[in-house]
Chain A
Amino acid sequence: MSDITLNASAKVAEAVPRSAPISQVGFVGWLRTNLFSGWLSTAVTLALGYLIIRWAIGFVDWAIINAVWSVPNNQTQACRDLRGTGACWAVVTEKHRFILFGTYPYEEHWRPALCIALFVGLYIVSAMRRFWRKELALIWVGVLTLIGVLMWGGVLGMPYVPQERWGGLVITLILATFGLALAFPLAVLVALGRRSKLPAIKALCVIYVELIRGVPLISLLFMASVMFPLFLPEGMNIDKLLRAQIAIILFAGAYLAEVVRGGLQSLSRGQYEAADALGLSYWQKTGFIILPQALRLVIPPLVNTFIGFFKDTSLVLIIGIFDLLTAGKTAIIEPAWQGFGIEVYLTVGAIYFIFCFAMSKYSQSLEAELNRHRRH
Chain B
Amino acid sequence: MPQFGPSFMRTMGAAALGLALALPGVARAQAPAANANTFDAVRARGQLVCGVNTGLAGFAQPDSQGVWRGFDVDYCRAVSAAIFGDPNKVRYVPTTAQVRFTALQSGEVDVLSRNTTWTLSRDTALGLDFAATNFFDGQGFMVKSALGVKSAKELEGATICVQPGTTTEQNLSDWARANRIRFTPVVIERLEEIVSAFVAGRCDAYTTDVSGLAATRSAQPKPDDYLILPEVISKEPLAIGVRQGDARFADVVRWTHFLLLSAEEFGITQANVDQMANDPRPEVQRILGKNGELGKMLGLDNLWAVNVIKAVGNYSEVFDRSLKPIGIQRGPNALWTGGGLQYSPPFR
Instruction: Indicate if the CB atoms of A335 and B215 lie closer than 8 Å.
Output: yes
B7-15, B92-100, B158-166, B170-178 - interface stretch: B92-100
Interface membership of chain B positions 174-218, coded 1 if the CB is closer than 8 angstroms to chain A and 0 otherwise: 000000000000000000100000000000000000000001001
Instruction: Indicate if the CB atoms of A333 and B221 lie closer than 8 Å.
Output: no
CB contacts under 8 Å to B, within A329-357, are 329-335, 338-339, 341
Instruction: Indicate if the CB atoms of A226 and B99 lie closer than 8 Å.
Output: yes
B51-59, B228-236, B303-311, B336-344 - interface stretch: B51-59
CB contacts under 8 Å to B, within A278-320, are 317-320
Q: In this assembly, does B346 line the interface, its C-beta being within 8 Å of a C-beta of chain A?
A: no
Instruction: Indicate if the CB atoms of A338 and B96 lie closer than 8 Å.
Output: no
A59-67, A177-185, A232-240 - interface stretch: A232-240
Chain B residues closer than 8 Å to A97, beta-carbon distance: 64-66
Q: In this assembly, does A153 line the interface, its C-beta being within 8 Å of a C-beta of chain B?
A: no
Instruction: Indicate if the CB atoms of A330 and B64 lie closer than 8 Å.
Output: no
Instruction: Indicate if the CB atoms of B66 and A335 lie closer than 8 Å.
Output: no
Least Cβ–Cβ distance between A323 and chain B, in angstroms: 12
Q: In this assembly, does B62 line the interface, its C-beta being within 8 Å of a C-beta of chain A?
A: yes
Q: In this assembly, does A4 line the interface, its C-beta being within 8 Å of a C-beta of chain B?
A: no
Q: In this assembly, does A276 line the interface, its C-beta being within 8 Å of a C-beta of chain B?
A: no
Q: In this assembly, does B107 line the interface, its C-beta being within 8 Å of a C-beta of chain A?
A: yes
| Nearest-CB residue, chain A, relative to B216 | A338
Chain B residues closer than 8 Å to A105, beta-carbon distance: 66
Chain B residues closer than 8 Å to A230, beta-carbon distance: 24, 27-28, 31, 102, 105-106
Instruction: Indicate if the CB atoms of A231 and B23 lie closer than 8 Å.
Output: yes
Chain B residues closer than 8 Å to A245, beta-carbon distance: none
Which bucket holds chain A's interface residue count? 35 or more
Instruction: Indicate if the CB atoms of A226 and B221 lie closer than 8 Å.
Output: no
CB contacts under 8 Å to A, within B79-127, are 91-96, 98-99, 102-103, 105-108
Which bucket holds chain B's interface residue count? 35 or more
Indicate whether A167 sits within 8 Å of B54 (C-beta atoms), given known contacts A235-B107, A322-B94. Answer: no
Instruction: Indicate if the CB atoms of A234 and B93 lie closer than 8 Å.
Output: no
Q: In this assembly, does B291 line the interface, its C-beta being within 8 Å of a C-beta of chain A?
A: no
Instruction: Indicate if the CB atoms of B99 and A319 lie closer than 8 Å.
Output: yes
Indicate whether A320 sits within 8 Å of B94 (C-beta atoms), given known contacts A234-B31, A234-B35, A333-B57. Answer: yes
Least Cβ–Cβ distance between B221 and chain A, in angstroms: 5
Chain A residues closer than 8 Å to B108, beta-carbon distance: 229, 237, 240
Q: Choose one: B93, B95, B219; the contact of A338 (CB below 8 Å).
A: B219
Least Cβ–Cβ distance between B45 and chain A, in angstroms: 11
Task: Give Cα distance in the complex from A96 to B29, angstroms.
Answer: 44
Instruction: Indicate if the CB atoms of B219 and A164 lie closer than 8 Å.
Output: no
Q: In this assembly, does A326 line the interface, its C-beta being within 8 Å of a C-beta of chain B?
A: yes
Q: In this assembly, does A258 line the interface, its C-beta being within 8 Å of a C-beta of chain B?
A: no
Instruction: Indicate if the CB atoms of A106 and B221 lie closer than 8 Å.
Output: no
Chain B residues closer than 8 Å to A234, beta-carbon distance: 30-31, 34-35, 107
| Nearest-CB residue, chain A, relative to B30 | A234
Least Cβ–Cβ distance between A336 and chain B, in angstroms: 8
Task: Give Cα distance in the complex from A105 to B62, angstroms.
Answer: 11
| Nearest-CB residue, chain A, relative to B96 | A320
Indicate whether A106 sits within 8 Å of B66 (C-beta atoms), given known contacts A162-B91, A237-B108. Answer: yes
Task: Give Cα distance in the complex from A227 to B55, angstroms.
Answer: 24
Instruction: Indicate if the CB atoms of A164 and B93 lie closer than 8 Å.
Output: yes
Instruction: Indicate if the CB atoms of B106 and A333 lie closer than 8 Å.
Output: no
Task: Give Cα distance in the complex from A246 to B107, angstroms.
Answer: 20
Q: In this assembly, does B132 line the interface, its C-beta being within 8 Å of a C-beta of chain A?
A: no
Instruction: Indicate if the CB atoms of B98 and A232 lie closer than 8 Å.
Output: no
Chain B residues closer than 8 Å to A165, beta-carbon distance: 66
Q: In this assembly, does B326 line the interface, its C-beta being within 8 Å of a C-beta of chain A?
A: yes
A94, A104, A227, A333 pick with most chain B CB within 10 angstroms: A333
Q: In this assembly, does A119 line the interface, its C-beta being within 8 Å of a C-beta of chain B?
A: no
Task: Give Cα distance in the complex from A318 to B35, angstroms.
Answer: 27
Task: Give Cα distance in the complex from A317 to B95, angstroms.
Answer: 10
Task: Give Cα distance in the complex from A230 to B65, angstroms.
Answer: 34
Least Cβ–Cβ distance between A354 and chain B, in angstroms: 23
Task: Give Cα distance in the complex from A326 to B53, angstroms.
Answer: 13
Least Cβ–Cβ distance between B105 and chain A, in angstroms: 7
Instruction: Indicate if the CB atoms of B35 and A235 lie closer than 8 Å.
Output: yes
Chain B residues closer than 8 Å to A94, beta-carbon distance: 64
Instruction: Indicate if the CB atoms of B62 and A98 lie closer than 8 Å.
Output: yes
Chain B residues closer than 8 Å to A226, beta-carbon distance: 98-99, 102
Least Cβ–Cβ distance between A366 and chain B, in angstroms: 38
Q: In this assembly, does A111 line the interface, its C-beta being within 8 Å of a C-beta of chain B?
A: no
Chain B residues closer than 8 Å to A332, beta-carbon distance: 192
Instruction: Indicate if the CB atoms of B219 and A339 lie closer than 8 Å.
Output: yes
Q: In this assembly, does A374 line the interface, its C-beta being within 8 Å of a C-beta of chain B?
A: no
**4 nearest A-B pairs in the assembled complex, by CB-CB distance:** A229-B106, A234-B34, A103-B66, A330-B55
**Beyond known contacts A331-B64, A333-B57: 19 more, CB 8 A cutoff:** A83-B221, A97-B65, A106-B66, A164-B91, A167-B66, A222-B99, A226-B99, A227-B102, A229-B103, A229-B106, A230-B102, A230-B105, A230-B106, A234-B34, A317-B96, A319-B98, A335-B326, A339-B192, A339-B219
* 17 A–B contacts, CB within 8 A, in A order: A94-B64, A98-B64, A103-B68, A103-B92, A106-B65, A225-B99, A229-B108, A230-B24, A230-B102, A230-B106, A234-B31, A240-B108, A320-B95, A322-B94, A333-B61, A334-B57, A338-B57
